[in-house]
Copies of this chain bind each other. A is one copy, B any other.
Amino acid sequence: MTIIFSKKCEYGLQACLYLAAINTGAVIPSGEIAKQLKIPKEFISKILQSLTTSGLIYSKKGKLGGFSLAKDPSKIKLIDIVTAIDGLQLFEKCVLGFPNCSPDTPCPVHDKWGELRTKAYQMLTDETLDAFTEKTLRKIKNL
């Protein structure tokens, strides 16, 4: 079940964190990424393709081909990946599903939700991928 981000987005984040963590400039074939993250090769391949279009990922076809980050990990934030895959609706829509979100007609949980939303946004914006290396490696090792 989707929690906050779509599966696509979750896997996209995982793959980018992985690529940042191993920290080789080299391209990694989708099969290797899939094996490390224990997810289907075809699926992560498709997701990384779309991130290639967004300019976050570099891909190389053919033998010795694969995927790598298009920029240095210190230049990529989690929010960039979320934006590219799920978009920013999460930070624009009401938790209660009311339409016409505006401070004029606040929904019942407006104040508290607004604050949480801001913090969540910060969480995705504050740090760049290189800050997560250690935890990512430990997490992946224990999958």
Contacts and interface: CB of A to CB of B under 8 A. Distances in A.
Interface in A72-108: 78, 89-90, 93-100, 104-108
A123 B132 contact: no
Nearest to A115: B119
Contacts of A7: 97
A97 B135 contact: no
- Count of identical protomers in the assembly: 2
Interface stretch (A11-19, A24-32, A52-60): A11-19
Contacts of A1: 89, 93
Contacts of A105: 138-139, 142
Interface magnitude class on chain A: 35 or more
A81 to B, nearest CB: 11
A140 B11 CA distance: 38
Given A10-B97, A97-B11, A116-B119, A106 B139 contact: yes
